[in-house]
Amino acid sequence: MRTLFYILLIYLITGCTHVVDKYRITVDAINSLNVAIAPSSYIIKPLGENTRSSDLKFQRQSNRLAKILNNKGYTPVVNESMAQQIIYFDYGIEKIKEETKVYTEPDISIGFSWGYPYHYPYYYPFWSDIGYTRYRTYSKTYRLFNRYIVILSKDKVGKELWRVDISSVGESNNLAQIVPILIRASAPYIGKNLDTPIQFTINDSLIKEE
């Protein structure tokens, strides 16, 4: 019994449970069915009007996309006139819900002591007291965000060749963490066509930075 109590105490103090973040991903992909789409030379440009190619954050994320494209046989070029595909890339976040909830729970207190506080003269080397005498009320605000990326390929005359839209709804607004996950999730669907959007769940522990 004493051993079990010690294990519980260590668990409470250290908080040893490891939490793995999971992301629910939605993918929609479409291509031009009348055009034979194959990996070719490309250049990446911003899709959003407010984003510039020289933006350092855009460059960091577009470099991740370039690794995916290169692994699929695409060839990067430095001049748009040399590219057979101009691949437009955008990412962002939208707050879609905000809700505040009020909770009431017991105010738990834990006490520990050494010695023999009870049943003298018997010796009790360790004792504890766990209980609560009152309740406390607190509020917590939950926010849900839609985190997304868009990858759109066009040919030299501006005709759309293929497009991939990927999004994930969650509480985190950390784009620096989530956008790389969405980019990696896009790899199997680049240049492909899906009849309907699909959904799946991935763990951040499975995302390995190259």
Contact 45, 51 (CB under 8 A): no
> What Cα–Cα distance (Å) separates residue 83 from each residue in 44, 72, 87, 173?
10, 16, 9, 34
Pair type for strands 41-46 and 85-114? parallel
Q: Domain for residue 10, yes or no?
A: no
Alpha carbons 69 and 183: distance in angstroms, whole number: 10
What predicted TM-score, i.e. pTM, was given to this entire model? 0.73
Q: Domain for residue 176, yes or no?
A: yes
Express each pLDDT in 159-183 by its tens digit. 999 999 999 999 999 999 999 999 9
The answer to which of 30-34, 41-45, 83-87, 203-207 has the lowest mean pLDDT is 203-207
Q: Domain for residue 158, yes or no?
A: yes
Contact 102, 137 (CB under 8 A): yes
* Domain assignment of residue 141, given as a range: 21-210
Which CATH number does the domain housing residue 152 bear?
3.30.160
Q: Domain for residue 15, yes or no?
A: no
The answer to which of 81-95, 129-143, 158-172 has the lowest mean pLDDT is 129-143
Q: Domain for residue 11, yes or no?
A: no
How many domains would you assign to the chain?
A: 1
Alpha carbons 86 and 190: distance in angstroms, whole number: 14
pLDDT of residue 105: 76
